[in-house]
């Protein structure tokens, strides 16, 4: 965020890096605003986010995000941190990297990080795609090559296979279809149906 500056565009429609910094700070320090992210009511999250942007400078917000949650905040616990922040921080990092006018490819991740993102993508897919009434398979790409690692994340007829590196699969699951480098294969009707589903978050 500091490298790109407060006005840097992101993949989040209408958001700059400044909005993103406020969003990240709010979700770990403002329980009411954080609940408003998950369960939208009266644009509470937007109001709280803009209040932060008014009260604090961009650099202050980034500093607070970098410092992490308060000492007694549950997000400080490693297990909760992993569950709550792995996907959130990875996707928002890519929102910044890929939000500009020039194409940007995937980052090269360490094997451990790649594995964690893969496991996170599987868990998220099972949650978000459980009601699509289609068979959906995630297929992993390793080192630029399609591997034989496949996981069924939703059961049903006309299965669709979504192939990509773990990070790209995670971006797709968060609704960043335009930026995610994934390949969907399967029956035409099933592909049309899966592409019509809003995964944005």
- Say yes or no: 116 and 183 in one domain: yes
Q: For 4-38, how does the pLDDT look when each residue is reduced to its tens digit (9 = 90+)? A: 999 999 999 999 999 999 999 988 886 655 555 65
* Same domain flag for 67 and 132: no
Residue 93 lies in a domain: yes
**How far is residue 75's CA from residue 100's CA, in Å, rounded to a whole number?**
30
Query: CA torsion, points 169, 119, 82, 99, in degrees to nearest 10?
Result: -10
Last residue of a domain, one of 66, 97, 128: 97
Question: 152 and 75 in one domain?
Answer: no
Q: Is residue 182 pLDDT above 70, yes or no?
A: yes
Claim to verify: residue 134 and residue 163 sit in the same structural domain: yes
4 within a domain of the structure (yes/no): no
pLDDT tens digits for range 53-111: 999 999 999 999 999 887 777 777 777 778 888 999 999 999 999 999 888 889 999 99
Whether 86 is in a domain gets the answer yes
Higher-confidence residue of 143 and 82: namely 143
Determine which helix (DSSP H) or strand (DSSP E) holds 196, and give its type and residue range: helix 188-196
The reply to whether 83 and 156 lie within a common domain is no
Domain end (from 38, 66, 97): 97
Backbone phi and psi for residue 80, each to the nearest 5 degrees, phi listed first? -65, -40
Residue 21: how many other CB atoms lie within 10 Å: 28
Specify whether 91 is located in the same domain as 125. no
Residues 115 and 191 in one domain: yes
Domains in the chain: how many in total? 2
CATH number at residue 175: 3.30.1050
Of the residues 39, 70, 97, which one is the last residue of a structural domain?
97
Q: Which domain holds residue 85?
A: 17-97
Does residue 12 lie within any of the structural domains?
no
Considering the domain architecture, whether residues 22 and 74 belong to the same structural domain is answered as yes
């Amino acid at each position: 965020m500091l490298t790109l500056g407060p006005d840097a565009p992101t993949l989040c429609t209408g958001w700059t890096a400044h909005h993103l910094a406020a969003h990240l700070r709010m979700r770990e320090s403002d329980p009411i605003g954080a609940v408003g992210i998950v369960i939208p009511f009266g644009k509470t999250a937007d109001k709280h986010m803009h209040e932060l942007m008014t009260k604090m400078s961009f650099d202050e917000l980034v500093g607070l995000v970098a410092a992490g949650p308060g000492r007694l905040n549950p997000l400080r616990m490693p297990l909760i941190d992993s569950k709550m922040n792995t996907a959130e921080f990875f996707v928002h990092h890519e929102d910044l990297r890929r939000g500009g006018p020039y194409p940007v490819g995937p980052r090269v991740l360490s094997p451990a990080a790649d594995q964690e993102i893969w496991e996170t993508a599987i868990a998220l897919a099972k949650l978000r795609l459980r009601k699509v009434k289609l068979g959906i398979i995630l297929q992993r790409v390793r080192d630029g090559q399609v591997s034989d690692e496949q996981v069924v994340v939703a059961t049903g007829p006309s299965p669709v296979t979504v192939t990509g590196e773990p990070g790209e699969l995670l971006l797709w699951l968060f609704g960043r279809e335009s930026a995610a480098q994934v390949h969907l294969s399967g029956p035409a009707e099933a592909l049309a149906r899966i592409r019509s589903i809003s995964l944005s978050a």
